[in-house]
Structure 1
Amino acid sequence: MKNNFLFLTLFVLSICAYAQQNQTEQDSTKTQNLDEVLVKAVRVDADSPITHSNVSKEELAKRNLGQDIPILLNYLPSVVTTSDAGAGIGYTGIRVRGTDATRVNVSINGIPYNDPESQGTFWVNLGDFASSTESLQLQRGVGTSTNGSGAFGASLNLLTDAFSEEASGEISNSFGSFNTRKHTVKLSTGLLNNHFEFSGRFSKIYSDGYVDRAFTDLKSYFLQGIYKDENTLIKALTFGNKEQTYQSWFGLTAEQLQEDRRQNPYTYENETDNYWQDHYQLHWNERFNNNWSTNLGLNYTKGYGYFEQYRPEESATDFANLIVDDSDVIVRRWLDNNFYVLNANVTYKKNMLEIISGLSISSYTGDHFGEVIWGSNLAPNTQIRDRYYNGDATKNDFSIFTKATFKLAKKITGFVDLQGRFVSYKTNGLDSDRNVFNTDADFDFFNPKLGFTYKPSLNNNFYASYAIANREPNRDDFQAGVTENETLNDIELGWRHNTEKVALSTNVYYMFYQNQLVLTGELDDVGSPLRATSGKSYRLGLEVDANIKFSSVFNLSTNVALSRNKNKDFTTSVDGVLVNLGNTNISFSPELVIGNALNFYPVERLQLSLLSKYVGEQYMGNTDNADSILESYFVSDFNINYEIKPKALFKSIVLSGLVNNIFNKEYVSNGYFGSFDFDDASSPTGTTTGYFAGYYPQATTNFLLGATLKF
């Protein structure tokens, strides 16, 4: 595998060398913005044969009134979002093309953010991070090579705040429904002595949540120091978050949903999640000349926290005999982890040739343990905070890549991206159920990508790409006995059309899998979705994304995603018998997703926007069981922004308002579904399969109002 990777790398370089020799004299060398070099290795350009969407700082700011980044991205193509507490703050999630959050590779300044073990992204640990985001890019499909767990449906990379030439300050406050409030202070010194800048942000977000007692309390910070000259940019930054949330991941049964959709089944007053996460990054970008530039990135992430849980009438053996049988107990289950990353890459760019080569090395260590902090009947000699399970994990990840964009003909540009990724994962000790959990697994992956862009005119380009991605199981998968990796083949065909009044992007994709780990619909004991191998499966879709400028005061942004998402020859147990159901729908994969934004600018500096989202019917399991259907929903939001330019004291005052779900729709955006077998003498097999389902209600009409003072 490694030899193949080296051979193909040399092959790419030879193609690029040939392409360089054939550059026309009319091509000119372009310099690069040093801030953009931070994410150059994981982002793509406008004409790249990769399906993507870009979102700027200005676009994020219009609705940045406290809700998490997934909710701010809700109107992008093929995106479906959800919120446990129902109000878009706290534990929120994002799915792209039907793929769950563990398959969406997230990076911050090129540093992987997904938790290495679970592969999930916990936005609750990035409170108000949109206020420190310069831009982001969402790539759909396999996308370009990125760092960390491979993208298996999408990748999302964020670039943090760029340096500011001028000193500035900003105070933002917003208030809204469910006692929601956000307070943000930002400061920048501007460039000192033409070389140095220091900036920072401090934020606090609080919300009671739509669901009863499902509160979220976030305290976050972002601090950055910069040195720059004409060819050097060094960034040292740290950001972090302390969160406390009341649990609401259990959802509601259909009966509870009808009875009171805002109720919370949890009754213990401190059934809370408590977690601290701090990140430290150092980036050094160097431009040697107009052709060569380099980037070095270092990262250390410290995560530490617990959730507290009340459990009635428990067995002594489940708690290492620290309690007496049938005792009530309160436990804290802890995570204590460290994550180190080194990224390095070099870019060569001349005329129409660009080559980026680099590597990423990361090391993760995580301790998992549980403590008994109270019991109605403790065993003799038991001490408060005695541990009833203890386990540790280590994951090392090394990847190396070469990607190149080059001119093949006057109107044709080629793209080749080759990545080798080598993963080692080890665990020792007991899991939370006190089962022995010892894993020692190694994976060697080769992930090639190839594409072409044909540009017949200034306003049109057509592209085609083929990519292969491989991905290792996560911690829950290993615990369930899954040891094989997944493989995804992704074919993308697209057309982009850009004029002064119309920007249109449309594409067809076919993603076919081997050993795809699909969501079963069930949850583990901490609310994380469980997965199972479906064998062969595929996702086939059409995406259309358009921005139409009708006049200087009115435009429309709209996107439509049509898809078929199928498991092939899906087999499951029904009434104690293994049954082949044939082709079934993949869970949580709606066939139709539509997003719209009607924007109106009646006067200078005033914007009114009507946003709408339609998500079609979807199954919460893979068996096409009618009880697992999550109904379609259509919701609309209204957003207003007005900027005042005072003559003194402030540079500007921005007033913002957001009314979510203006038509008061009672809808559910997420849920879970599972089955169980019970003895039944009336059944021919002596066994009958029963089913259960849960739902996460989202907020009815609610609002947020905010003001930002810039000076």
Structure 2
Amino acid sequence: MKKVFLAFSAFMSGVGAMYSQQQTDSLKLVKLEEVVVSATRVSRGAPIAYSNLGEVEIKKDNATKNIPYILQNLPSVVSYTEGGTAVGNTALRIRGTDASRINVTLNGMPLNNPESQEVYWVNLPDISNSLQSLQVQRGVGTSTSGTASFGASISMQTAGGKGNKPYADLSSAYGQYNTLLLTGAAGTGIMRNGLSVDARYSYIKSDGYIRNGKVDHKNIYAALSHYSDKQLIRLIYMNGIQHTGITWLGVDPSKIESDRRYNEAGEYEDDNGKTRYYDNETDNYYSNIGQVIYSRYLTNNLTLNANLSYNNGYGYYENYKTGESFADYGLSNQIINGNTHESSDLILRKLMQNDFYVGSFNLDYKVGKFGIIAGTTYSYYDGHHYGRLLWVKQNQNIPNDYEWNRNKAVKQDMNVFLKTEYRPVDNLSLFAEVQERYIDYRMRGLDDDLADLTNKNYYNFVNPKGGISFRFSNYNEIYGSFGISNREPLRADLKESLKGGKTRNIRSERLYDYELGYKYANSIVSFSANFYYMDYKDQLVQTGKLNDVGYKLQENVPDSYRTGVELSLAYTPTEWLRLDGNLTLSRNKIKNYTVYYDLYDNRDDWNKLGQISVFHKSTDISFSPNVVSSFGITFKPFEKEDFTLSFINKYVGKMYYDNTSNPYNRLQDYLVTDMIASYTLDVNKIGKFDFQFFINNLASIKYSANAWVETVKFDDGTEIVYKGLYPQAGANLLGKIRYRF
């Protein structure tokens, strides 16, 4: 018996040691995964306002939504779409800041286009289904690479090896407006040799709500990873193909009541005076993203992370234009059958192609209560813009695919950063970070209006950040932080400032961000309150002012600010009920703002007399509602059945769509409710089947989520106002089936 007992004890000790080793190895792998994005994220207890979403949260209520709509129920987020549904051209604002001011990284490497400083989510179809985690930081945050975080940052991490078992994930969704999603994913898990392979394919098609809001998207994701006890190597490839109908003109308010789905894009009259629409009024883009990720434990305390990224993009949009002047395209008048034509209907393409190279390197050192990350990122962008005429109605001698303009830009961006965290006692955390960023941006060639864009621009920024957080009474935490962010002008700002034969002093912008917060969390309820004051210096806003030859320009306004409070609550009183909500109350103002309007003699002759200006001592910043809120309630009525029913409500207050606080240029507030019913059937040895039913905009509320306006004035005191609104779809249904093992 003694021998048996000793043998059994030895066996159990071996099993325990093996289990302990698996836990240790698993923990090491998790830490290596975290190192990949550590330079662009904050951890628990950091003095930053942030939200985390894991893979389950990203996917659970998502059928065909782009990232902006997956994030729409987070604090201070307002999402909108051109086509009226959550597919196609979608965008978001956070604290009122637009996409060009939101830093986005993918696996720690910059994703924003260096010229527009924006991520066009339509060019990354269904990227959400390739993510394993996502973090949104509000305010300056802790972004260390890419464009400036001027209101928020989004850090995304793609999926890699998922445990030690192979998996498959297939789903299909279909809904109104012929919306269709087909997606399939599979992976080997981490095999005994340390290798794992992950792959996914997505196809999305829809007619859209707005006429011509059609969508035809494809996406491929593949990752090859190798794990060892000390390092992770991952190769990633993403391919996105998007074909989307042009909807960016919006709908004239006079058309809204009679036809909310009207879209004038591609509209023309044929020779018989009949209204027709060009059938290829589309925006198209092809993207290829390749990444190499390398993380390694150098010692027990020191980790290396070195990454490479290459983004290749090619795209164009195609327009039917009516009555276009030949002179605008550098062409002489066309003489046909003895008749001289100064203008013509035509079809044009505006094209772009770019290559974006990124390399990043950082060291992560942790010992005891002290942690430090030091690193650098370098990027090189080579972009081309050019225009071609595909067809000209009145054509005497214009060659096929006539190219009337081409310009090129090269942008180099290099930064070095150092971020530290120190916990002198268990409940106190000190955070500090400093980044130095250098930018070399050069353009040359002709713009689409034949203006010469040749110029060189250099910027050097220092961006410091710091904060402190203190935890007390087990469940409570208070924190405060301060950060500075600097931002260079966009391509559009710089190129328009050059036109007319003289340059203007377009300055970079600066943001001083003050944050103060409180958090409480236990197993039943969590609550947070975050107060912020974002003070902008020389913020660029559109004033309507023209240069010497009539170009509308953006100008630096000396002082503007955003201030508010963000409240969040999650409450689970029972196992069958969960309540989630957030509320942002804010004030967003520009001080000492002057707006300029074109002035004409009368509505018959349209002879320009110049411009007139109107001064505002204080005015609201456009697209910045004072109230933004989200509230969700989730029921799980059956104890033994995996069935949930959720109602998600989004409220967005009134907001102006220009900077004049004109009540006639204001979008009405709206409250939209979505319903989601979910049921999971677990079939032993086969896998799980998920069934979901969505009703978006349950009450069929008629609202517009975005708009634009242009005003011209006449000498007699009258004016004409041109507007475009973006109406959203009423109640619409969608069903989804998912199989996974």
TM-score by length of 1: 0.92
Give the whole-Å Cα distance in 2 for the aligned partners of 1:566 and 1:630.
17
Give the whole-Å Cα distance in 1 for the aligned partners of 2:677 and 2:220.
27
Which amino acid letter does the alignment assign opposite residue 127 of structure 2? F
Q: Which runs of 5+ in 1 are unaligned?
A: 1-29, 523-528
- 2:673 maps to 636
- 2:209 maps to 210
The offset of 1:323, in angstroms, is: 6.7
Which amino acid letter does the alignment assign opposite residue 290 of structure 1? N
- 1:269 maps to 279
Identity rate of aligned residues, in percent?
35
- 1:536 maps to 559
Is contact 1:353–1:407 with CA below 8 Å preserved after alignment?
A: yes
Is contact 2:420–2:432 with CA below 8 Å preserved after alignment?
A: yes
Does the residue aligned with 1:106 lie in a helix, a strand or coil?
A: strand
Higher relative contact order (CA 8 A, sep 6+): 1
- 2:345 maps to 328
Q: Is 1:698 paired with 2:721?
A: no
Note the alpha carbon deviations across 1:136-174, whole angstroms, 9 max, x for none.
Answer: 000000000321111100000101003122111111100
Give the whole-Å Cα distance in 2 for the aligned partners of 1:671 and 1:521.
16
**Between 187-196 and 94-103, the greater mean CA deviation after superposition:** 187-196
- 2:489 maps to 473
- 2:501 maps to none
Distance change >3 Å, CA 466–CA 340, structure 1 → 2: same
- 1:147 maps to 145
Distance change >3 Å, CA 653–CA 45, structure 1 → 2: same
The offset of 1:193, in angstroms, is: 2.6
Structure index of larger Rg:
2
Residues 172-211 of structure 1 mapped to structure 2, 5 A cutoff: 172-211=171-210
Distance change >3 Å, CA 291–CA 215, structure 1 → 2: same
- 1:661 maps to 697
The offset of 1:519, in angstroms, is: 5.7
Give the whole-Å Cα distance in 2 for the aligned partners of 1:573 and 1:664.
39
Does the residue aligned with 1:259 lie in a helix, a strand or coil?
A: coil
The offset of 1:532, in angstroms, is: 4.1
Q: Is 1:496 paired with 2:519?
A: yes
The offset of 1:692, in angstroms, is: 2.5
Does the residue aligned with 1:38 lie in a helix, a strand or coil?
A: helix
Note the alpha carbon deviations across 1:227-246, whole angstroms, 9 max, x for none.
Answer: 00111110100002111011
- 1:47 maps to 45
The offset of 1:179, in angstroms, is: 0.2
The offset of 1:329, in angstroms, is: 1.1
Is contact 1:182–1:204 with CA below 8 Å preserved after alignment?
A: yes
Distance change >3 Å, CA 195–CA 611, structure 1 → 2: same
The offset of 1:577, in angstroms, is: 3.6
Task: Kindly tell me the number of residue pairs found equivalent between the two proteins.
Answer: 668
Q: Is 1:555 paired with 2:578?
A: yes
**Between 255-264 and 390-399, the greater mean CA deviation after superposition:** 255-264
Does the residue aligned with 2:217 lie in a helix, a strand or coil?
A: strand
The offset of 1:690, in angstroms, is: 3.7
Q: Which of 586, 589, 601 in structure 1 is aligned with 2:624?
A: 589
Note the alpha carbon deviations across 1:468-526, whole angstroms, 9 max, x for none.
Answer: 0000001111123262100000000000111111111111000000111236699xxxx
Give the whole-Å Cα distance in 2 for the aligned partners of 1:45 and 1:69.
22
Give the whole-Å Cα distance in 2 for the aligned partners of 1:450 and 1:142.
11
Distance change >3 Å, CA 531–CA 598, structure 1 → 2: farther
Residues 309-328 of structure 1 mapped to structure 2, 5 A cutoff: 309-321=319-331, 324=334, 325-328=342-345
Note the alpha carbon deviations across 1:445-474, whole angstroms, 9 max, x for none.
Answer: 000001001112321111000000000001
The offset of 1:662, in angstroms, is: 0.3
The offset of 1:330, in angstroms, is: 0.8
Residues 305-454 of structure 1 mapped to structure 2, 5 A cutoff: 305-321=315-331, 324=334, 325-380=342-397, 382-409=398-425, 411-454=427-470
- 2:99 maps to 101
Which amino acid letter does the alignment assign opposite residue 689 of structure 2? I
**Between 72-81 and 321-330, the greater mean CA deviation after superposition:** 321-330
Is contact 2:591–2:617 with CA below 8 Å preserved after alignment?
A: yes
- 1:158 maps to 156
Does the residue aligned with 1:33 lie in a helix, a strand or coil?
A: helix
Q: Is 1:284 paired with 2:284?
A: no
Q: Which of 91, 98, 112 in structure 1 is aligned with 2:89?
A: 91
Give the whole-Å Cα distance in 2 for the aligned partners of 1:310 and 1:102.
28
Give the whole-Å Cα distance in 1 for the aligned partners of 2:580 and 2:555.
37
**Between 231-240 and 282-291, the greater mean CA deviation after superposition:** 282-291
Is contact 1:518–1:587 with CA below 8 Å preserved after alignment?
A: no
Residues 20-169 of structure 1 mapped to structure 2, 5 A cutoff: 33-164=31-162, 165-169=164-168
Q: Is 1:612 paired with 2:649?
A: yes
- 2:635 maps to 600
Give the whole-Å Cα distance in 1 for the aligned partners of 2:59 and 2:399.
50
The offset of 1:299, in angstroms, is: 0.4
Is contact 2:520–2:527 with CA below 8 Å preserved after alignment?
A: yes
Give the whole-Å Cα distance in 1 for the aligned partners of 2:97 and 2:661.
18
- 1:27 maps to none
Note the alpha carbon deviations across 1:92-142, whole angstroms, 9 max, x for none.
Answer: 000000011111111110111111101111111111111111010000000
Q: Which runs of 5+ in 2 are unaligned?
A: 1-26, 266-276, 335-341, 498-504, 546-551, 600-610
The offset of 1:290, in angstroms, is: 2.7
Which amino acid letter does the alignment assign opposite residue 704 of structure 1? L
Distance change >3 Å, CA 269–CA 699, structure 1 → 2: same
Does the residue aligned with 1:479 lie in a helix, a strand or coil?
A: helix
Which amino acid letter does the alignment assign opposite residue 589 of structure 1? S
Is contact 1:521–1:587 with CA below 8 Å preserved after alignment?
A: no
The offset of 1:258, in angstroms, is: 1.4
Give the whole-Å Cα distance in 1 for the aligned partners of 2:469 and 2:519.
10
Note the alpha carbon deviations across 1:242-301, whole angstroms, 9 max, x for none.
Answer: 110110000011101112101111222111111100100000000123311111110001
Distance change >3 Å, CA 415–CA 41, structure 1 → 2: same
Which amino acid letter does the alignment assign opposite residue 316 of structure 2? Y
Q: Is 1:484 paired with 2:507?
A: yes
Is contact 1:239–1:280 with CA below 8 Å preserved after alignment?
A: yes
Is contact 2:230–2:297 with CA below 8 Å preserved after alignment?
A: yes
Does the residue aligned with 2:492 lie in a helix, a strand or coil?
A: helix
Give the whole-Å Cα distance in 1 for the aligned partners of 2:111 and 2:426.
39
Is contact 1:322–1:378 with CA below 8 Å preserved after alignment?
A: no
Is contact 1:343–1:361 with CA below 8 Å preserved after alignment?
A: yes
- 2:252 maps to 253
Does the residue aligned with 1:624 lie in a helix, a strand or coil?
A: coil
The offset of 1:530, in angstroms, is: 8.2
Distance change >3 Å, CA 338–CA 323, structure 1 → 2: farther
Distance change >3 Å, CA 350–CA 37, structure 1 → 2: same
Is contact 2:562–2:587 with CA below 8 Å preserved after alignment?
A: yes
Note the alpha carbon deviations across 1:308-352, whole angstroms, 9 max, x for none.
Answer: 111112111211217732111111111010000001110001122
Distance change >3 Å, CA 609–CA 110, structure 1 → 2: same
